Amino acid sequence: MSAIIQSGQAGIGLAGLAGRRVRLGLIRDRILLFAVLVGGWEVLSHTVVDPLWISRPSLIAERLVALAASGELWRNTQRTLLEAVLGLALAFAVGVPLGIAMARYKYGHAVAEPFIMALHSLPRVALAPLFIIWFGIDLFSKVMMAFSTVLFIFMLNVHEGLKTIDRDLLDLLRTMRAPRHYVTRKVLLPWIVPWLIASLKIGVGLALIGAVVGELIGSSAGLGWYIEKSAGRLDTTGVFAGLVLLMAIAVAGNLVVARIERRFSSWRPS
C-alpha cells in the first residue's frame, strides 16, 4: 500500500514539474515574441517608415519616463482607471439583478425585449455627446459612458446563463421544499459564475472603451484626453504612449479577472 501511495505521489510530482516547465516555456516564448515585435518595429522606424507615422519604441519609452517624472502619467492613468472601474462596478451592480429579473419574470421580459435590444444595439459612441451635456466633462459623464457600454453584457449573459439551468435540479429542490434563499445560494449563484466571469472578461475592455470615448469627446484629464491632445499636435509618440498605457491597464484587468476565475472555479457546476 505504501508503495502505491509513494508511486502516486511521485506521479503527481512529475506532473507538477512538467506543468511548471510548460508555463516557463510559455513565458519565455511570449517574451521572445514581444522582443521580436518591438525590435522589428524599432528597425522599421529607422529604415523604412518615417517615425512621424509610427514613432519608435525607444521614443515611446522615453516619453513614458518623462510623463512619470512629471506626474502626468499617474494623473491621467488614475483618471481613466477610476472611470472604467466605477463604470464596470456600476454595470455589475445593476446588470446582474436585471438579468436575474429578466429570467424570473418571463412575460415582463417578453414585453420589454424589443426595447432592451434596441438600446443594446444603439452605438454607445452616439451617447457620448448627450452624456457630456447631461453630466458635464468631469468624472461622472465618463463613468456613465463606461456603465452604458458594459451594462447589457451583464444583463444578457446572466439571463442566458439562467436559461440554461438544470430544471430537473430545481424541481427536485422544490419537491424537497428547499427555501428560496437556499436555492439561490446553492444553485443559482454557482450556476451563473462562469457567465459572470465571461462578462467581466468582455467588460474590462468595453469599460475602457467607454471611458476613453467620453474623454475624447470632452475632458480635462485621462488617457483619452492625452491621446486627443497628442493627435492634435501630430505627436505620434504621445498617441502611442497613451495606447501603451491603455493596453497595460487592460492586461492588468484581465489578470485580475483570471485570478477571480481561479478563485471561484470550484463553484462551477459539474
The C-alpha cell at 46 is: 529607422
- Alpha-carbon torsion (133, 139, 141, 142), positive or negative: positive
Considering the domain 55-267, what is its CATH architecture? Answer: Orthogonal Bundle (1.10)
User: Do the beta carbons of residue 84 and residue 252 sit within 8 Å?
Assistant: no
Q: Where are the domains of the chain?
A: 1-49, 55-267
Q: Would you state the pLDDT for residue 152?
A: 93
pLDDT digits (tens, 9 = 90+) for 133-146: 888 888 898 999 99
pLDDT band, very low/low/confident/very high, at 270 (cuts 50, 70, 90)? very low
pLDDT digits (tens, 9 = 90+) for 219-230: 888 999 999 999
Q: Would you state the pLDDT for residue 11?
A: 53
- Is pTM beyond 0.85 here? no
Q: Would you state the pLDDT for residue 225?
A: 92
Alpha helices in 105-222 (DSSP H): 106-121, 128-135, 139-163, 167-175, 180-183, 189-217
pLDDT digits (tens, 9 = 90+) for 65-89: 999 999 999 999 999 999 999 999 9
Is the model's pLDDT at 46 over the cut of 50? yes
Q: Would you state the pLDDT for residue 49?
A: 87
The string of DSSP letters for 239-254 reads HHHHHHHHHHHHHHHH
Q: Would you state the pLDDT for residue 125?
A: 84
Pick from 93, 100, 97: which is nearest to 159 by CA? 100
pLDDT digits (tens, 9 = 90+) for 199-220: 999 999 999 999 999 998 888 8
Q: What is the overall mean pLDDT for the chain?
A: 85
Q: Would you state the pLDDT for residue 146?
A: 94
